[in-house]
A and B are shown apart, each in its own frame.
Chain A
Amino acid sequence: MNLGTRKILDRSFSAVGIGSIAVMGIALLIVIVPIVYNGLGAVFFTETIEHRNMLYNEFGKGDKAELDKENAAAGIYRKEAYSMLSRFEAEMETMEPVRQQEFRSKYGPVQTALRHLIGPLPGDEEAILTRYRYGQTRWEKAEEKLHELLYEAKWDYSDPNSMAKEYFVSRAAEFEGTSLVRLFPYVENNLDKMLQPRFTVYWGFLTDSSVDSHIFGGVWPEIQGTFFLAVGAMLFAFPLGVIAAIYFTEYARDGFFTSMLRSANSTLAGVPSIVFGLFGLAFFINTLKVSESKSVLAGSLTLAIMILPTIIRAAEEAILSVPKTYKEASLSLGSTKWNTIMTVILPAALPGILTGGVISLGRAAGETAPIIFTAAVSVGSAIGIADVLSSPTPALSWNIYNLASEHEAAAEIRHVQYGMVLALVSIVLLLNLSAILLRARISKKLKG
């Protein structure tokens, strides 16, 4: 190959390399930016007085006197709206029956929309679900709900060849000629007075429990559950994995048995995680009965089995990369094999072993499938360390899936879903970052 072609090949290869890295970077940005942006929205957002009321009533947070003052201020404008309602109700009584019937059926949705917006109306019974006791707690949601109050959504089926189209009809027009017509511009113009929006930083999202299955509150039980599960998995898998790696590299003789074990380990690394989930249910819960039903213990054990091959692999590689000369030097000084492993080989292999460990920890924190049947519940309070043997727990990975797909009000709590995703991504990134730092520190110490 002549020099010219070689140069062109080199150049084009680096161009392809840079290109693929750029594509990956862009893809990463496309994924990460919305997660970060929307996820931060769970903590940094414009709250309404309903949020402050909720925090005070459900979590006892906030200043009562201040809140009373604000409620009084908002009450002035709300009262005006409520009196419009009662005036219209009185007006309906005086209507002839057919007309009255027509307006009653239109009036119901208006009440509902107003309840969604600013909370229960005077005279409503105490709602059983917490979510119906408050209006919109987030200002951007309130603006959405305002639209529902002002406009009725209808569907246009006129063209049978295409899908029905949604269109909006102004409610003010529907109530033309009644006293209620004044309500709509009034609410539209005074919504900020009724809800008193204010920018807030709600750290409680990370430290509070959820109320009414994540409609309000935070994700602390999930964070804690994830922590318990991942650390629990590590407690089982890390020592076991390192011991297995020592066995493979230092004690096992090459032979049928060893190669069987090795290929079993490789196979295990490729098994889909849902299979581990089912295995965990069948083995740890149904056969060994480590707990009555789902528990953190069963989940940790299942995750441990899942990450074990990775830990063994990483530790094996780390041990094998320790120069043979260290071992020779140690043995030649009259050290036993065991002592050599403990005092020379493992310390030198530590950065690699730890890196493998922490990456596995991140994986254990992020996996959903293995804990579906063994440990995770969709709604639950934070469990104490004493309960890990018998209690199931909510966990970020599972609850992200659950909130996004199975929650009855999934569309209302996008901010919670994104917040959870961001929390999980941050935890995993943080773990990996700490692995990198730890590795750098130890390597530096070893290299002098």
Chain B
Amino acid sequence: MQMTADGRDTSQIEQVKTAMRDIYLPSERKQISGGGNPHVTAKVFSIYYGEFEAVKKVNADVLSKYVTSIIGPSGCGKSTYLRAINRMNDLIPGCHTTGALLFDGEDIYGKFTDEVLLRKKIGMVFQKPNPFPKSIFDNIAYGPRLHGMNDRKQLAEVVERSLRKAALWDEVSDRLDRNALGLSGGQQQRLCVARALAVEPEILLLDEPTSALDPKATAKIEDLIQELRGSYTIMIVTHNMQQASRVSDYTMFFYEGVLVEYAPTAQLFTNPKDRMTEDYITGRFS
């Protein structure tokens, strides 16, 4: 048995890396055209809860139209970072930021930035499915109505298009007027994706979208992410490394608020530059 300098079993590490490579098959993915520009750029960007620096001096470009996953142990600041992008952290008293976070070159935390407009362009899906206690139709139509669409026919089109994109249309097309809370957890989560898509965002933020779902529903959401890849910039927080390697093109690894490593997914999982990353993806801590 071969050992590394600090006493780890190298053959085991190799095994994990091989497994990861098998999961991640970039060649099977569709080509992305017109993407790859910096969409969300962090520059020495820190997020504080009061005195506590939850995310520390991050520098990173998230590329447009690609899927970027964020991994890291619990409490490392993944959600905090994700929620900073559409300013959901504004809801938390005492939460503030330093440095710059740019969306298409514009400062998200700029003095004159309209966070309402920003959120329209940066949609979000949460860990727990959270449909409104309204009909399926009204859930999807909520965003478009907010932004001034009132024509019933036009709304119906948007609802159908969004539900189709979220691969939910076939399951719910005959009961659009039923309360959304009657759907299964997986359906509810896809409804939430559809609801976010209905406002035609540029970026989709997903915070552990499958952690409350069973494997079948999880697979559907992952397929959905593959479908949407190339049309939207997608950022997904996940605890499931197989999921990260299956769905994402790039992966960010956070540890205690620090962005330790950010690289193409294939590279990060098979050939991590940082010891910490390696330890994490081989399951030495979580």
Contact = CB atoms under 8 A, between A and B. Distances in A.
Contacts of B118: 334
Nearest to B183: A448
A333 interface: yes
Contacts of B91: 327-328, 331
A447 B91 CA distance: 26
B130 A448 contact: no
A332 interface: yes
A332 B123 contact: yes
B143 A333 contact: yes
A339 B93 CA distance: 21
A330 interface: yes
A344 B119 contact: no
B146 A332 contact: no
B126 interface: yes
Given A332-B88, A335-B116, A448 B178 contact: yes
A117 to B, nearest CB: 67
Contact of A323 (B123, B130, B182): B130
Contacts of B121: 334
Interface stretch (B166-174, B191-199, B267-275): B191-199
Interface in A272-330: 323, 325-330
Contact of B192 (A254, A327, A329, A445): A329
Given A329-B130, A348-B133, A447-B181, A336 B88 contact: no
- Chain B's interface size range is 20 to 34
Contacts of B181: 446-448
Contact of B146 (A326, A327, A335): A335
A325 B130 contact: yes
A329 B146 contact: no
Nearest to B146: A335
Interface in B21-71: none
B281 interface: no
Contacts of A348: 132-133
Interface string B237-278: 000000000000000000000000000000000000000000
A333 B130 contact: no
A447 B179 contact: yes
Contact of A448 (B119, B143, B182): B182
Contact of B195 (A326, A333, A343): A333
Contacts of B131: 329
A343 B132 CA distance: 10
B86 interface: yes
A447 B146 contact: no
B124 A332 contact: yes
B120 interface: yes
Contacts of A336: 116
Contacts of A339: 146
A339 to B, nearest CB: 6
Q: Which of B119, B120, B121 has the most CB of A within 10 A?
A: B119
A328 B180 contact: no
B179 A326 contact: no
Contact of A333 (B119, B178, B182): B119
B147 interface: yes
A335 B148 CA distance: 11
Contacts of A347: 133
A331 B128 CA distance: 16
Contacts of B124: 328, 332
Interface residues of A, number: 24
Contacts of A447: 133, 179, 181
B174 to A, nearest CB: 15
A448 B180 contact: yes
Contacts of A448: 133, 178-182
Contact of A332 (B180, B182, B196): B196
Nearest to A339: B146
Nearest to A329: B130
B142 interface: yes
Given A446-B133, A448-B179, A329 B126 contact: yes
Nearest to B192: A329
B17 to A, nearest CB: 37
A333 B196 contact: yes
Nearest to A447: B181
B3 interface: no
Contact of A334 (B116, B179, B180): B116
Interface string B124-162: 101010111100000000110011000000000000000
B1 interface: no
Nearest to A448: B179
B5 interface: no
A334 B117 contact: yes
A328 B182 CA distance: 20
Contacts of A326: 130, 132-133
Contact of A325 (B128, B142, B179): B128
B236 to A, nearest CB: 15
Contact of B88 (A331, A335, A446): A331
Interface in B160-215: 178-182, 192, 195-196, 199
Contacts of B126: 325, 328-329, 332
A327 B124 CA distance: 13
Nearest to A340: B146
Nearest to A324: B91
Contacts of B132: 326, 329-330, 344, 348
Nearest to B181: A448
B118 to A, nearest CB: 8
A76 to B, nearest CB: 75
A333 B143 CA distance: 6
Nearest to A326: B132
Contact of B86 (A253, A329, A332, A335): A332
Given A327-B91, A332-B126, 15 more contacts: A326-B133, A328-B130, A329-B192, A331-B88, A331-B91, A332-B86, A332-B119, A333-B120, A333-B123, A334-B116, A445-B179, A446-B133, A447-B179, A448-B179, A448-B182
18 contacts: A328-B130, A329-B131, A329-B132, A331-B91, A332-B124, A333-B120, A333-B142, A333-B146, A334-B117, A334-B118, A334-B119, A334-B147, A339-B146, A343-B142, A344-B132, A446-B179, A448-B133, A448-B179
- Those 3 A-B pairs whose CB atoms lie nearest each other, nearest first: A448-B179, A334-B120, A325-B130
Interface of A: 253-254, 323, 325-336, 339, 343-344, 347-348, 445-448
Interface of B: 86, 88, 91, 93, 116-121, 123-124, 126, 128, 130-133, 142-143, 146-147, 178-182, 192, 195-196, 199
